[in-house]
Structure 1
Amino acid sequence: MRNTYACSIYTDIQTKGMIIPLEWKINPPSELRYCWTVDVVFNVHLVSSAGEVNYSYPVHEGHKSSGNCPNNIPLDASSPWGAYVIDNLRHLSQPGAEILNDSITIKFIFPDRSGFCIRSDFLQRRLEGYIGMSSARSFLQPRQEIHHATLPNEAHPNAFSLPEILSNAVGGIVVKSADALDQLETELDNRLAFPWISPRCPPFRRIAYVKGRWNMDHSKRIWEAASALGIAVVIIDEEGHWLQDSQWEHVREGFIPVNVDTDEGFVERLVTAVRGRMVQVALACEKLGLPTSPSAAFAIAADKFKSRQIEPDEGADALWMPSIEHLKDFLSSDSPQIQYPVVVKPCIGWGSECISKVHNERELIQAATRASERHSTSSVQRPDIMIEPYIEGPEIDANVVLADGEIVFFEVADDFPSLADREQNKWDDPFQETFMVLPTRLPQNEVEEMKNSLHRTLLRQGFRDGVFNCEGRVRYSCMQFASHDGQYDLFEKMGDEAPPQKPTFYLHEINARPPGYYGNVASNLTYGVDYYALDILCAVGDMQRFRALAQPFRLGPQWWLVITVIPEEKEGIMKTEDACGDFIRKFPGLEAVIPDYMTYKKGGSRLDGPAASHQSFVGYMSVISRQNREDALQLARRIRRDFVYELT
């Protein structure tokens, strides 16, 4: 057992001198996490303005520090560790602040080797959601050089050794009580078990981000990732975009106003802007000699019918119609009869927009007309549509991280049935998400089947590196959505329901990009992998950091998480200013189980209602449980049931 030592520090916080007794302990190193730690307990309840506390000796059980000493260690507010301590002392001195156990307990992190920081906020990001801490802070700057902090010799402690030791700390974690220190020590083996120290300095890079996001709420983590990686961002978007405003200069290095319509001249405008989306951006990167997957691969992934055509034994199931007129001619000809139900979708599209499940020819014409007109007013004139069988089986949302053709991270979420999945759905019922649960409940053999299938698909399309959000269904799964004991979830099929053959994966689409914002944050919180950071690193060809940051928590997901989509019940103008935030604040305790949320339709926004042809919802909440999946789902359902907002 390692010794605990005692000393005291002096600080003049709030313009008056304070002497704070503390105890500190050096913990044994761990081979799993590239660091060792020191625990420091600041005994705030013993704060004095005159007395001193003896130090420089071990504190044994039953023996507390006492006596007089003419010296106290000054707290250096200019040092990263000192500033962190002072910030916490100031927090405790604020009116109404709660002092837990009358102490501030901090675990400081020290590198066990030299090198360079691969991401400056690695500590905050990997500790997000850890229930035993109050805060975490990295003391590093992007791409900063890190020096090996030698483990001190405990045989000869020195009165002033603590500041010298703490000067080498790369971060600190405030825990809620000293009793939580040992548990956190073990948890660090889980969360920091990845190479966060690089032997080489990451080169400075700059990215051009084509088309900025809707607002800061919907993009904050993208810019935070770029900053922590030490990568400068130049935004390319239309004149007047919100990121062009000077208040966002801390987010981006520059802003280049460009017409970003993806028409025939888009590639040349981009090339000019970079010296000067998806397929067109890849073409521009090829012309500029920048790292990118082949533009031909993006062209396949962006086109749902082309993606279907290259699937073995699957392409024949789908029909391609260049226009609604061709479909009508097909239906009136001697062509083989369509076996309903079928799914109709635009060949180019996103967000499940204008996708319909239909049961007869009348509905098919209606749905096909809507899908064909989806891009009639956009710069991409694509009236062609795709018709494919409706596949029975659990729908999934999978994220694949690919490096040099190898899957380095893979995870699956269960996508709960939408309105369109009902047996007697209306043709215009949307395929909009209701609940999405991480991690999946499907058995490992089915997870492996979809992983291997998606891997083959990505390589066939021409991809070798990147982050890919993939959607599809498991055909002949041993699981199905059903209600058991009042709980609606995936359950194993029994008796005659058992599948007649081995499961196969039916691809819906490959999105050659990270998942949407709520999906990215959910995976980041659950597994510790930030797809936005990986996407940026892949764009600049930094595959060493890409592989390092693609490593999840060593022990797997930290909880069960349900992405709970709040639907639009009716059309109108939103009166409630922040419907999701107001709901969370209304019920004490919800903040602890909702680590992420966003209100899309703020006060004054128009709601298009459930019949909207495009993806439209009030907002979302990510609901978690550390106990089990059932608990997370029950809470998510109660939230959707009780959620209210006002329309004008």
Structure 2
Amino acid sequence: MAVGVLPGQVNGWPPKVDLDSDTESASPRIYTPPSPLEAVNKPPSRLVDALTNLGLGATNWVAAGVSVLTAILPSTDGYVSRADFLRLRLQDCPFPTSKIQECVDPLKKYTACRLPLASVISEDTLANLIEQAAGVIQWADLEASVSILDLQRYLVGLTQELRDRLNDAPWLTSHPISRKRVALIRGRPNLTAGGPVYRAARALGLDLVIVDDEGHWLQPDTDDNRMHREAFLATDMTEDSGVVDRIIASITRYPLPIHGVFTLSDNFFVTVARVAEALHLPCNPASAFEISVDKHRSRLLQDAPGQTARVSSVDELNALLSSTSKSSPTPFTPTYPLIVKPTKGWSSECVSKVSSPTDLALAVQKATTRHGSAAVIEPFFDGPEIDANFVLLDGEVLFWEIADEPPCQADAKSASVDDTFSPEALTLPSALPADEQETVRETLRGLLVKAGFRTGVFHVEARVVNSASGYRDVAGQDGVVVDLVPRDAQSLPEEKAACKLIEINARPPGYRVSVPSRHTYGVDYFAVHMLAAVGDLDRLRMAAQPFDHVREGRTRGAQYWSRLVYVPAPKEGVVRWSSGLSPCEELKRRRPDLRERIVVAVDYCVPGDRVGLYTDGARTYVAHLLLCSRVSRRDAIEVGDEVLRAFQVDIEEE
């Protein structure tokens, strides 16, 4: 890449500085500028024309300052894997950008620049670079008073940041990429949830077809909808024995070839796998999904005799606990506390922690009424809860990461059967010791392969028992926060740490939980998921490359520490926006100190919506926000806590 510096019309600043980032000892070479009068009266140059053609011309430069631009020049020919690669990799860059202009189209061939950067000694040769660039970045302008030394330091720091973001993430492949079409079974419920999927498909050059019920919001053939999908195939999605055949019929009637199918809806995993098998499309076996969607069967992947049971009713529970059941070779022997949850379910719905026999029947009743499924009774594993995300290619781990989930209501020793496991926050990267993280990696990868999964994205929930770390109150800058920290020597467990599976979600994490990973590591799970669906394994491997940042205390590849916080509904009633702004926007306007730390903020409600404290047995949330810190993990947690304290949502009681 080449970095150019263009002046405002003051102080005789140099019109350009070139920096060769391929050289470890790279330093700016500053060229003699024209005088201010010459700069004002000089006719447009080829360099100015080249930038103007990209929408980066003189009208974008400050009159009294320094404009810095970077031309991205891949050193080899290749086919473009993803058109918005620069925008994805420059998310939350500490060097603010003014504009990013990407000059490539997905799947098209890019011919590398053959001009040696050392020969760039004039505006014409720099214009040559601009015209051959795969992308050009205009950074936020610097003050005209910046010194030459500070400018050099800025450019060297900028170059290192670009290395961390771009050098280890290939986005050109030597193999031509054929255009493919992928069908999403069950379109997302709204643009907020579906936007990351639709944008990734466009950037990858994938034609997206939606298969869903008549009346879905993406069905009308409007200009807006055509931006998100190529076609909509109205199909009866009733979950009965004929749904597989109906989906197959819709796909086979479509006049253009469909190269892959996928879903993000948990209750359609098995259905879509059967569709893929019938149409001979890439997919993990349906038998693997049958295990993952049944929490009893997935629990048996890592179980000891007598620990786990499955019941369909309270009567069946009573029969299981009766004396006649004790004659079984491996009788079920409940050890409290334990967990009761639906065998089919998601989002911690109707999951209960049971601390005494008197509450067991109540928990089973709650679980069996949800989704009409049976209930699984299993041990409660005491230890830090984690979300682990994996990208696998034929069983090989291409990328993986852990997010720490702090204790929730039901984790308290005094928790009742009415307390929930609804998450309250996530913190990335994990603070677990390195050896325990490796235990998590090997254990969960082994269970995924044991279930039959080989390729794709997997969101796995687990706990680490006998961990050398635990949650406790620790001092922060402005008070006490709860964080995962090493245990005192006298409280270290005697047994070795072990990873205990909670559940397997054979898909990317949900849209709000995928946000921290995409921003923290630069890996887009939705892109990986679609590439797996069409069998594009070359680009799948490329898409799984994280950033290359290295910082003590952070997992390699994490550009910062991040904290995702969920805002629960404070009471029941009707949502109002008394200020005229959404709660997230109102918070950012009222607290500019927090606005600078907020990466993403999403409101779930609009005026007139009715909210309760609980929805389907889980906490009701009104928003989520992602906060970041380049200072420390503790700082990220503190900012998250302050956001929760400062967040205001107006709910009018009915």
Q: TM-score w.r.t. structure 2 length?
A: 0.86
Mapped contact 1:114–1:146 kept (Cα < 8 A)? yes
Deviation per CA, 1:521-540: give whole Å up to 9, x if none: 11000001000100010000
Matches within 5 A, 1:611-630: 613-614=617-618, 616-630=620-634
Do the aligned partners of residues 4 and 551 (structure 1) sit closer, same or farther apart at CA in structure 2, a change above 3 Å counting?
Answer: closer
**In structure 1, distance between residues paired with 2:235 and 2:606:** 29
**In structure 2, distance between residues paired with 1:76 and 1:420:** 62
User: What is aligned with 2:370?
Assistant: 374
Mapped contact 1:309–1:316 kept (Cα < 8 A)? no
Mapped contact 2:584–2:601 kept (Cα < 8 A)? yes
Q: Percent of aligned positions with the same letter in both sequences?
A: 32
Matches within 5 A, 1:124-143: 124-134=87-97, 135-143=99-107
Q: Give the counterpart letter for 1:462 in structure 2.
A: G
The residue matched to 1:217 in structure 2 has which SS? helix
User: What is aligned with 2:423?
Assistant: 433
**Structure 1 position 500 matched with structure 2 position 494:** yes
Q: Give the counterpart letter for 2:53 in structure 1.
A: G
Deviation per CA, 1:327-381: give whole Å up to 9, x if none: 12223445465221111000111111110001223321111111101013xxxxx
- Mean CA deviation greater in 542-551 or 169-178: 169-178
User: What is aligned with 1:186?
Assistant: 160
Deviation per CA, 1:153-175: give whole Å up to 9, x if none: 64584563333331101111222
1:256, distance to aligned residue in structure 2 (A): 0.8
User: What is aligned with 1:25?
Assistant: 17
User: What is aligned with 1:55?
Assistant: none
**In structure 2, distance between residues paired with 1:347 and 1:236:** 27
The residue matched to 2:160 in structure 1 has which SS? helix
1:410, distance to aligned residue in structure 2 (A): 0.8
User: What is aligned with 2:75?
Assistant: 112
Mapped contact 2:3–2:69 kept (Cα < 8 A)? no
The residue matched to 1:298 in structure 2 has which SS? helix
User: What is aligned with 2:207?
Assistant: 232
User: What is aligned with 2:257?
Assistant: none
User: What is aligned with 2:274?
Assistant: 283
Q: Give the counterpart letter for 1:323 in structure 2.
A: S
User: What is aligned with 2:470?
Assistant: 480
Matches within 5 A, 1:309-348: 309-311=300-302, 313-314=303-304, 316-334=306-324, 335=326, 337-348=333-344
Mapped contact 1:309–1:315 kept (Cα < 8 A)? no
Do the aligned partners of residues 562 and 67 (structure 1) sit closer, same or farther apart at CA in structure 2, a change above 3 Å counting?
Answer: closer
**In structure 2, distance between residues paired with 1:305 and 1:632:** 36
Q: Give the counterpart letter for 2:157 in structure 1.
A: Q
**Structure 1 position 564 matched with structure 2 position 584:** no
1:8, distance to aligned residue in structure 2 (A): 11
The residue matched to 1:330 in structure 2 has which SS? helix
Do the aligned partners of residues 100 and 527 (structure 1) sit closer, same or farther apart at CA in structure 2, a change above 3 Å counting?
Answer: farther
Mapped contact 2:81–2:172 kept (Cα < 8 A)? yes
1:582, distance to aligned residue in structure 2 (A): 2.3
User: What is aligned with 1:539?
Assistant: 533
Mapped contact 1:76–1:83 kept (Cα < 8 A)? no
Q: How many residues align?
A: 600
Mapped contact 1:567–1:610 kept (Cα < 8 A)? no
Matches within 5 A, 1:93-242: 99=62, 102-134=65-97, 135-152=99-116, 154=118, 157=121, 160-177=124-141, 179=151, 180-192=154-166, 193-242=168-217
The residue matched to 2:227 in structure 1 has which SS? coil
Q: Give the counterpart letter for 1:532 in structure 2.
A: F
Mapped contact 1:559–1:624 kept (Cα < 8 A)? yes
The residue matched to 2:431 in structure 1 has which SS? coil
Do the aligned partners of residues 338 and 120 (structure 1) sit closer, same or farther apart at CA in structure 2, a change above 3 Å counting?
Answer: same
1:594, distance to aligned residue in structure 2 (A): 0.9
- Mean CA deviation greater in 107-116 or 465-474: 107-116
**In structure 1, distance between residues paired with 2:276 and 2:118:** 56
User: What is aligned with 2:548?
Assistant: 554
Do the aligned partners of residues 330 and 186 (structure 1) sit closer, same or farther apart at CA in structure 2, a change above 3 Å counting?
Answer: same
1:477, distance to aligned residue in structure 2 (A): 0.3
Q: 1:267 aligns with which of 221, 234, 244?
A: 244
Mapped contact 2:83–2:106 kept (Cα < 8 A)? yes
Q: Give the counterpart letter for 2:340 in structure 1.
A: V
Mapped contact 1:569–1:609 kept (Cα < 8 A)? yes
Do the aligned partners of residues 3 and 265 (structure 1) sit closer, same or farther apart at CA in structure 2, a change above 3 Å counting?
Answer: closer
Mapped contact 1:429–1:611 kept (Cα < 8 A)? no
1:143, distance to aligned residue in structure 2 (A): 1.1
User: What is aligned with 1:45?
Assistant: none
Mapped contact 1:105–1:177 kept (Cα < 8 A)? yes
Q: Give the counterpart letter for 2:376 in structure 1.
A: M
Q: Give the counterpart letter for 1:195 in structure 2.
A: P
Mapped contact 1:81–1:169 kept (Cα < 8 A)? no
The residue matched to 2:192 in structure 1 has which SS? coil
Mapped contact 1:39–1:105 kept (Cα < 8 A)? no
Do the aligned partners of residues 441 and 221 (structure 1) sit closer, same or farther apart at CA in structure 2, a change above 3 Å counting?
Answer: same
The residue matched to 2:547 in structure 1 has which SS? coil
Q: Give the counterpart letter for 1:104 in structure 2.
A: S
1:519, distance to aligned residue in structure 2 (A): 1.5
Do the aligned partners of residues 640 and 315 (structure 1) sit closer, same or farther apart at CA in structure 2, a change above 3 Å counting?
Answer: farther
Do the aligned partners of residues 232 and 363 (structure 1) sit closer, same or farther apart at CA in structure 2, a change above 3 Å counting?
Answer: same
**In structure 2, distance between residues paired with 1:468 and 1:388:** 22
Mapped contact 1:81–1:166 kept (Cα < 8 A)? no
Do the aligned partners of residues 39 and 514 (structure 1) sit closer, same or farther apart at CA in structure 2, a change above 3 Å counting?
Answer: farther
1:624, distance to aligned residue in structure 2 (A): 0.9
Q: 1:299 aligns with which of 282, 287, 290?
A: 290
**In structure 1, distance between residues paired with 2:641 and 2:8:** 52
**In structure 1, distance between residues paired with 2:51 and 2:63:** 23
Q: Give the counterpart letter for 1:113 in structure 2.
A: T
User: What is aligned with 1:631?
Assistant: 635
1:72, distance to aligned residue in structure 2 (A): 3.9
**Structure 1 position 402 matched with structure 2 position 389:** no
Structure 2's unaligned 5+ residue stretches are: 143-150, 254-267, 327-331, 550-556
Deviation per CA, 1:445-495: give whole Å up to 9, x if none: 000001000111011011110000000100100111111332311121214
**Structure 1 position 83 matched with structure 2 position 24:** no
Question: RMSD across aligned C-alpha pairs, in angstroms?
Answer: 2.9
Mapped contact 2:4–2:70 kept (Cα < 8 A)? no
